[in-house]
Amino acid sequence: MDTPKSQHILSRIHATTRRSTALFAAFLLLLLCTGAPQAVQEKTEAAGTDFVYPGDIWQRIEDPASVGYSQAGLDQVTEYVKTLDTTGLLVVVGGRVLYEYGDLKQLSYLASVRKSILSILYGKYVADGTIRLNTTLEQLGITDIDGLLPVEKKATIDHLITARSGIYHAASNGGDSTASAPPRGSQEPGRYFLYNNWDFNCAGYIFEKLTHQTIYDALERDLAVPLSMQDFDRLAQRKSGNLTRSHYPAYHIWLSTRDMARIGYLMLRRGQWHGRQVVPEYWIKKIIRVKTRVENMNPEPYRKGDFGYGCMWWVWDGPNAIGPYEGGYTASGAYGQFITVLPALDMALAHKTAVPPRNRQTLMRQFRGIIERLIAARTDTDGS
C-alpha cells in the first residue's frame, strides 16, 4: 500500500538512483574523453613520431661515431667524390645528415627522377579511387599522333607505370630504350618490360586528366608543403618535348639536393612525416616492389645489372640485393641524378650532377662507388 511515508522513501531512492546514474554517465564520459588523447598518442607514435624528422632545416650528426661511422671513412668518400662530376650529395641516416658535399640549395633538372616522384603522387589518388589502375587507355580515350593500335588501347594505367604497356609509339623526348623496342603491336600489354618515355609521359597526362590539376600543383600541395621543402619553386617547373612526335610532353622537375633528400626520407619512412601519413603506406610498398625481375629486364644488357623494376622505381634485385642493399631502391636520372634508399642502413641519399649525359653504366658504377665507400665507413658493421 502506497502510504505518504513509503512514497517519500521511494522518492528519495529514485532521486538517489538518478544522481548515481548521472554521476556514472559523467564518469564514463570523462573516461572516454581522457582516454581519447591517449589513443591518439599511441596511434601517432605507431605512425612514426618516434623517428627523427627535419623541420625547416635538416638536423646534423655532429659525431659520426655516435651512429656507427668513422670520420676517416667519410673523408675517403670526399676524396672519391672530388674525382667525379658530383655537384651535390646529401646522406641522411636515421633522419639526420651524416654527410654533405657541394651546393645543396641549387635547383636543377632531375631528368628521369621525375617519374619516381610522379609514382609517389599517384598514391593519394589511387587510394581515394580517383585513379583506378585497371582503367584502359581505350576507356580513357587516349590516342596519339597517327593513333594507337587496338592491342595498345588495351593497356591499363598500371601497365604504363610499370613500363609494361606494349606501346612503342615515339615519345616527345629521348632518354629511354625505344631504339630497342619490338615492333609495334607485337607485345600484349603486361607481358614485356621496356623503359619507354611514352608510357611515363602518358601516365603524367592521365594523372592530370583524372585529378583535374597539374602535376606541379600536386607536387607543391602533396609533397613540397607537407615535407617543408626548403627550396621548392613552383615557377621553376616546366614541361618540354617535341609535340610533333607525341601529344604528351615530359613533365620535368627542378629540385634542390636537400629537398630531393626529403623525398628519399619520406620513402624510407614508408610515406610517414612527423606522424602524418602523407602517402599511403601500402602504396609505398607497391611502387618499390619488384614487378620485373632483373633476369626479365629488356633490352638484354639490363639483365647484367643490379636492378629490377617496380612502379617507376629501380629496385635492387638478384644475387647482389643482400646485406646493405637488401630492400634498396633508387630513382635514377640522366647526368647522374639519384634519390636512393637503403633501408638496411636506415639511409637515404640524394645525388646530383650538372654535366652532359654520360653512359648510364658509367654513372651507376660511379654512384655505386660512393655507396661502397659509405658502407666501408661504417664501424658498427657485423660483416654484412
Return the ∠ at Cα 362 (arms to 356 and 363), rounded to 5°: 60
Instruction: Work out the average pLDDT over 127-154.
Output: 98
Cα separation, 167 vs 182, in Å, equals 10
Query: Going by C-beta distance under 8 Å and a sequence separation of 6 or more, which residues neighbour residue 198?
Result: 144, 165, 167, 168, 169, 170, 171, 178, 246, 248
Which pLDDT does position 50 carry in this prediction? 79
Which pLDDT does position 350 carry in this prediction? 98
81-112 pLDDT, tens digit per residue, is: 999 989 999 999 999 999 999 999 999 999 99
Q: For residue 190, how many other CB atoms are within 10 A of its CB?
A: 16
pLDDT band at 16 (very low <50, low <70, confident <90, very high): very low
153-200 pLDDT, tens digit per residue, is: 999 999 999 999 999 999 999 999 999 999 999 999 999 999 999 999
pLDDT band at 360 (very low <50, low <70, confident <90, very high): low
Judged against a pLDDT cut of 80, whether residue 10 lies above it is answered with no
Exposed (0-12), middle (13-18) or buried (19+): which is 223, by Cβ within 10 Å?
buried
Model confidence, pTM: 0.86
Cα separation, 133 vs 114, in Å, equals 20
